Structures are given as structure tokens and as C-alpha cells.
Amino acid sequence: MDASRALPQIRGKRLFVDGEPFIMLSGELHNSSASSLEYMKAVWPRLKAMHLNSVIATVSWELLEPEEGAFDFALVDGLIEAAQAYGMKLALCWFATWKNAASIYVPKWVKTDFARFPRAKGKDGKINRAISCFSKECMEADARAFAALMRHLKETDKARTVILVQVENEAGLLDIDRDYSKAATEAFTAPVPKALADYLKKHEAALSPFLSERVDFSKLNGSWAQAFTKDAEEIFMAFYTALFMEHVTHAGKQMYALPMYANAWTVQSKGEPGGFHPSGGPVADLHDIWRCAAPSLDALAPDLYLENFKQECAAYTRIEGNPLLIPELRRDQWAVASICYAIGEHDAICVAPFGIDGMSAAELSAEARVQDAAEVIPAGSFSESIQSGYQMLENMLPIIIKHQGKGTMHGIMQDRTPTDLIRCAAYDLKVRYNHPISSGMPLAGGIVIALDEQTFLVAGMGFSVTFISRHFGETEYVLIDEGAFEGEDFVAGRRLNGDELGVSLKETPKVLKVQLFSYNHD
């Protein structure tokens, strides 16, 4: 290993690569894409042309360990070699015991052996598609395979191309609120583990509203049904699913301590019980449970396909030290606005439209595809929107990174209202969107950065901004310049004045530098 390269790590809410802050302008491949290096040959140039600096790719247990104890790392090595050739970083998704709350990526020798690797069961005894998180055999086998993968990365990835690892995928149980197998039921009727009871008491004042409304602190020494007044089944599953994940994550980190995260299939409608979304997964309401049971995970990350994007971003940054990492988001007319908002408002360390390898114009003009019954891709070539949006952000990364965490940067994203008001430095910024959401145009979005009290960068597309001083009656422009960045230096293009005067961004993403002065009439 090159000793001069610092190990990638998450510190606070920032990702560091080679010792420097790094934002992943990324995309996640379709699930099966990385299973063929030949298929990927045509994909890599398209990813590079879209100005991605990283890509999220699958490594499946079934292909890594087709026979127990016999590992095949050819696909992993090929992905790393290709990413290096195109100057990109990699995040690897470990598809193992869970993928979309089902055990569909486990090897055949695991999938077909119900005695050794028992499935979760419903109340009626029906076998679920997911292996039970109470299967110690599966937990140990999964951990061994993951540890072998991480050991191989440490030994072979000398350039540290892999910077991040997702452990499992959308863990939990669908269609049932908890596992009703014998082992699970014994655990459910037993007292709540002391480690969790102590954690909840210690963090009582900071718990999510969901948990605060459900935990009975006077009965935490009782069973799960006694300790939690509602949704005890999902809370129970969250703890034991996270314990399973902790065992796998810890085994991997013992070999090679790259940053690791777990992703969530989020709650799809307010108040829905566990089972409609994967019961026990790291949804925002249950982060406290996951933080207690799986401390080795560096982040809990949402897969975002719904229109409550702003709310989920806020929920996933509630807990101190949990960075905003979005490994999957919808790749349609919402994408660029969502990406800009996440980076500008919440200092996101990773944004990644799902199915990024399907972003060619030809594919996007074909029939719409539905992902998880939530991602809808309308006809139209939004690949150009993604490409131009990432090109703008790529150019701005040094200045964005400089302003992370300082409160001088804000995100803009069109919502149901035609205007927004953003407070930035000494001004209120009235944002007016060019088109309604129903127009079918790409949603408006962007980033505003206060360089000082009077100077701003406004970047993005589909909106205009009026600056309103909070201290003076009148505001005028000193300059409005189009431009681009060379490192942290803004290189001005056209000076907008006369008929072009005003902060107005059309449908092609661009960057404006705005300098103001304000005064009173008296």
C-alpha cells in the first residue's frame, strides 16, 4: 500500500480521500451491470463523459463465493482497473444477505439450504424471501465473505481506488412487521437488551420524535411489547438487523477500515407500518436504534425517490456526525435540482442517481422504467441535464468544499410553491422558479454561496433571484458576471448589464458572480 496515501475516512460529516475533503459526484449502476466486465466496456466512457468523479458498483456474494470457501475476485479487480483507467473512484455495494429486503444475491449453497440458513417467517408460518437476521450461520458466513473481500482490497488496491463500501442493501423485512420464527419470538418476548435500554436512557433528550412517543422508560426492563407502546415489532427488528450488520461491518473493518454505510428503503407514506417498507431498516425514525446496535457503520444513508426529498435530507442529518450520503436518487427531471440542494444545503458527501449507466439519450427516450415503484423516468433526454449539471458542479468543487460547514452556502430546489426565501449573509434572497413542476421541464435547483457580505455566487438552472437587504432600503448591482472556475479562482466571462441585467438562470446550468451595494434614501 502506498504509505503516502491516507486511508479514506469520514470525519464528522465530511469524506476525506487522500487526506483532502472529497464530494462524490457519482451514480449507481444498475444491479447487474458490474457482473460483466465486457458489458462495462461501453459504460465507462459514458460515465466519464457525464463528469462523474466516482461510481457505485455492485459486488455480489453469489459471484464472489460461488462455492463455500472458494473466492473469485476477477470482477472486483476488473472494476478497479477500469475505474483507474478513467480516473474515477469506486464505492462498492456488498449485495449479500439483503438486497431490497430479500436474500436474492446469496450463493446457491446458502439460498437453497433452509436448515442451515433459515428464512424469516410470518405470523402464519409462511417463509419470507429474506434469511432471518437470527441465523447465526448466515451472519458468520456473510461476515467471512465480506472480510475476504476487504482483505483482498487492502492487498491489491494500491491506489486506493475504492473509497467507500455499502454493507448489504436495503436491509429489513417486507410484507411482515417482524420475524415470527421461534428464535425471533423468543427474543421478542425476552427483556429488551440492557445495552439498548441504557442507550435510550442516556440519549432520551435527543431521540427522534418517533421513538420519544413510543418508548416507556419505566418499562425498559420488560419485553419489547412492554417497553414500546407502538411499533415494537419494527423497533425490535431494527435492533437485531443492525446487530447482524454490525457483525458483518466489524469483520470487514478488521481487515481494511474503509468508510462503510448502510442504506435504507425509506418510509413511503406517513404512518405506514414496518413491512410496507423493509421493517427494521435504517429509516430516519430508527437511527437511534441503529446507532446503538451498529456503531461500526460510518453513515446511515437514504435512497430517495419520492417528492419529500427536503424532509428526508433534514431527517438523515438530524443525528450529530451522520453525513448526508445519498447512494440512490431518482434519475429524471428532479435529479440535478436534488443534487444541488443536497450539496448546497446539507454538505452532502455523495449524490448518485440510480441506474446511471442507463442515462444515454436513446435509453431515456424509450419506455419509462419504474424502480421500487417510486422512481419514474419520463420520456425525454435528461442525460444532457445530468451531464451539464455535473459539469457545473465539477467546476465548482474547490469553492464548494471551501464553504462546507461554514453556513455560507445554501441549496435551492423547486418545491410546490412558485417562490422561496433564503437567508444568506446580510440579504434575503427571493427565489422565483421559471416553470411549474407540472410543466415537465427539469426542476429548478442550484447553490448560492456568500463569498462576503456583498458578493455571491449563484449557480444552477431554472430560477431567478432578487436580493433584499435586511438592513437598508435599496439594493443595486455592482456587477453580474457569467464565468467558471480555475481551482478556487472565478474567471469572468460576459458582464451582464443593460437588457441582460438581473440574476436569471435558464434551463442550462451556469454560474453567476454577483456583487451588490445597499443604501437608504435619507
- Do 332 and 458 reside in the same domain of the chain? no
Q: Are residues 392 and 419 in the same domain?
A: no
Band of residue 2 on the pLDDT scale cut at 50, 70, 90: low
Answer whether residue 422 is part of any domain: yes
Domain identity same for 439 and 373: no
The residues that bridge with 263 in the sheet, in sequence order, are 301
Average pLDDT score over the chain: 93
Query: Judging by DSSP bridges, how do beta strands 445-450 and 409-413 pair with one another?
Result: antiparallel
Cα 175 to Cα 274: distance, rounded to the nearest angstrom: 8
CATH of the domain at 150: 3.20.20.80
In a domain, 203, yes or no: no
Q: Inform me whether the pLDDT recorded for 374 exceeds 70.
A: no
Residue that is written with C-alpha cell 427565489 in the block: 431
**DSSP structural state of residue 200:** H
Q: Does the pLDDT at position 349 exceed 50? A: yes
Same domain, 363 and 512: no
55, HSE (Cβ side, Cα atoms, 13 Å): 30
465 is in which domain, residue-wise?
Answer: 409-519
pLDDT digits (tens, 9 = 90+) for 438-496: 888 889 999 999 999 999 999 999 999 999 999 999 999 999 999 999 999 999 999 99
What does the alpha-carbon distance between residue 212 and residue 217 come to, in Å, rounded to a whole number?
10
Q: Show the beta-strand stretches assigned E in 114-207.
A: 119-121, 127-131, 162-169
* pLDDT for 65: 98
Confidence of residue 124 (pLDDT cuts 50, 70, 90): very high
Residues 373 and 420 in one domain: no
Hey, what's the cell of 285? 425514525
Ranges assigned E (strand) in 291-337: 299-304, 325-329
Do both 392 and 448 map to the same domain?
no
Q: Which of 362, 397, 432 is the last residue of a domain?
A: 397
Residue 359: per-residue pLDDT:
66
Helix (H) or strand (E) holding 10: strand 9-11
Report the distance separating Cα 62 and Cα 106, nearest Å.
5
Residues 297 and 438 in one domain: no
Residue 3 has pLDDT above 70, yes or no: no
As for how many domains the chain has, the answer is 2
**The dihedral of CA 43, 105, 254, 325: what is its sign?**
positive
Distance CA 501, CA 499 (A): 6
Of residues 385 and 413, more confidence is placed in 413
Q: What is the pairing mode between strands 119-121 and 89-99? A: unpaired
pLDDT digits (tens, 9 = 90+) for 214-257: 999 999 999 999 999 999 999 999 999 999 999 999 999 999 99
> Is residue 358 domain-shared with residue 427, that is, in the same domain?
no
Q: Say what the pLDDT of residue 416 is.
A: 86
Phi first, then psi: what are they for 208, rounded to 5°? -60, 150
pLDDT score of 109 more than 60 = yes
Cα–Cα separations (whole angstroms), residue 429 to 202, 231, 375: 41, 42, 32
Which of 397, 428, 455 lies at the terminal end of a domain, its last residue? 397
Residues 301 and 159 reside in one and the same domain:
yes
Residues 373, 481: one domain?
no
What tens digit of pLDDT does each residue of 303-315 get?
999 999 999 999 9
At 372, the pLDDT band (50, 70, 90 cuts) reads very low
Q: CB-based burial of residue 504 (10 Å sphere; 0-12 exposed, 13-18 middle, 19+ buried)?
A: middle
Which three-class secondary structure state does DSSP give residue 79? helix
- Please check whether residue 384 lies inside any domain of the structure: yes
Residue 99 within any structural domain of the chain: yes
The domain spanning residue 463 has which CATH number? 2.60.220.20
pLDDT for 273: 96
Q: Are 278 and 303 in contact (CB under 8 A)?
A: no
Residues 381 and 421 in one domain: no
Q: Determine, yes or no, domain membership for 42.
A: yes
Is 231 within the bounds of a domain?
A: no
Alpha-carbon span 282 to 301, nearest angstrom: 8
Q: What is the pLDDT of residue 332?
A: 87
266 found inside a domain: yes
The answer to which of 81-85, 165-169, 202-206, 439-443 has the lowest mean pLDDT is 439-443
132 and 70 inside one domain: yes
- When pLDDT is averaged across residues 341-353 and rounded to a whole number, the result is 98
What pLDDT score does 4 carry?
55
The tens digit of pLDDT for each residue in 45-95 reads: 999 999 999 999 999 999 999 999 999 999 999 999 999 999 999 999 999
Domain boundary among 397, 422, 451: 397
- pLDDT confidence tier of residue 333, bands split at 50, 70 and 90: confident
Q: State mean pLDDT over 83-108.
A: 98
Q: What confidence tier does 5 reach under pLDDT thresholds 50, 70, 90?
A: confident
CA distances from 249 to 243, 262, 264, 293, 400 (A): 10, 10, 16, 12, 31
For 330, the grid coordinates are: 431518482
User: Which grid coordinates are listed for 152?
Assistant: 483482498
- % of the chain exceeding 70 in pLDDT: 95
Q: Is residue 285 part of a domain?
A: yes
Q: Which alpha helices (H) appear in 86-123, and where do they start and end? A: 108-111
